[in-house]
């Protein structure tokens, strides 16, 4: 089960650059894209394998590559993210938990080995708390700095706009105060109604009695067109005889 293995060896897939002397064809088959993608796969395998190590047990990472991306960089990533769960497991009489074998020095194929010992069990195999806190603190600090910078920029823009509005209002106020009398005179003249020839004379037409008479006649005619008394100021009108009375009325009396 998880967390119950004494030692887990991760013989990670790699570029095999350490065995070129025995496999020279790798010079033509190995692509740069493969070397760039391999570290991601190696980290995933190492993370999953670490979950099976019991507390006090060991985790060994090994490749037959001699480039830094697949070796030291992967080991540094694991140390930074799992330093709260694993600690270094140095080799005896060597003083370090990392060992590299090189053909021109050791007379062997190229190999890389790094190992750690679990100090506590983390069932999720998650990242170390200190590494997580450090990243969050860094991200929060950067976000806060950006927010403060943006706030200063917005404050500067708002103050600039307010100053422009104040200057515009001050200019309009000076214009009004500088030409106050002429401005008031021109405004007053513009409000006077224009009078044409004979403007003082009253127009001839119907007076109030005439209007009231017309309203009275029209209002009553809607109710009974045959019984409407004619106003004295309205010319007489001969209505047709009422079919109900059977006789013609004298409307002029």
Which residues contact residue 224 at a Cβ distance below 8 angstroms, ignoring those fewer than 6 apart? Answer: none
Tell which residue, 17, 32, 44, 28, has the closest CA to residue 101. Answer: 17
> Is 11 labeled as ligand-binding?
yes
- CB neighbour burial string for 138-149, b if at least 16 within 10 angstroms, e if fewer: eeeeeeeeeeee
Whether 64 sits among the annotated catalytic residues: the reply is: yes
Q: What are phi and psi of 165, to 5 degrees?
A: -65, -40
- Catalytic residue, chosen from 49, 64, 65, 74, is 64
Report which of 92, 144, 131 is spatially closest to residue 115, judged by C-alpha positions. Answer: 92
Structure tokens at 169: 């209002």
Beta bridge partners of 112: 63, 100
Hey, which residues are catalytic here? Answer: 64
Q: Point out the annotated binding site.
A: 11
Q: Point out the annotated binding site for S-adenosyl-L-methionine.
A: 11
């Amino acid at each position: 089960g998880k967390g119950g293995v004494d030692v887990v060896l991760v013989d990670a897939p790699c570029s095999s650059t350490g065995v070129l002397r025995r496999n020279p064809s790798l010079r033509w088959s190995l692509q740069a894209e493969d070397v760039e993608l391999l570290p991601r796969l190696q980290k995933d395998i190492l993370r999953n394998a670490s979950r099976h190590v019991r507390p006090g047990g060991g985790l060994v990472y090994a490749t037959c590559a001699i480039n830094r991306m697949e070796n030291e960089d992967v080991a540094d990533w694991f140390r930074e993210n799992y330093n709260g769960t694993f600690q270094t497991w140095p080799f005896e009489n060597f003083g370090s938990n990392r060992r590299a074998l090189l053909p021109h020095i050791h007379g062997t194929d190229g190999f890389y080995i790094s190992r750690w010992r679990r100090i506590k069990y983390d069932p999720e195999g998650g990242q170390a708390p200190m590494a997580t806190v450090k990243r969050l603190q860094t991200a929060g600090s950067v976000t806060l700095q950006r927010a403060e910078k943006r706030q200063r920029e917005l404050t500067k823009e708002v103050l600039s706009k307010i100053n422009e509005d104040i200057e515009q209002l001050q200019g309009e106020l000076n214009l009004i105060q500088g030409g106050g009398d002429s401005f008031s005179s021109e405004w007053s003249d513009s409000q006077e109604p224009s009078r044409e020839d004979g403007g003082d004379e009253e127009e001839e037409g119907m007076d109030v009695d005439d209007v009231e008479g017309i309203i009275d006649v029209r209002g009553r005619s809607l109710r009974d067109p045959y019984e409407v008394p004619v106003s004295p100021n309205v010319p007489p009108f001969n209505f047709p005889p009422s079919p109900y009375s059977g006789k013609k009325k004298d409307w002029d009396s």
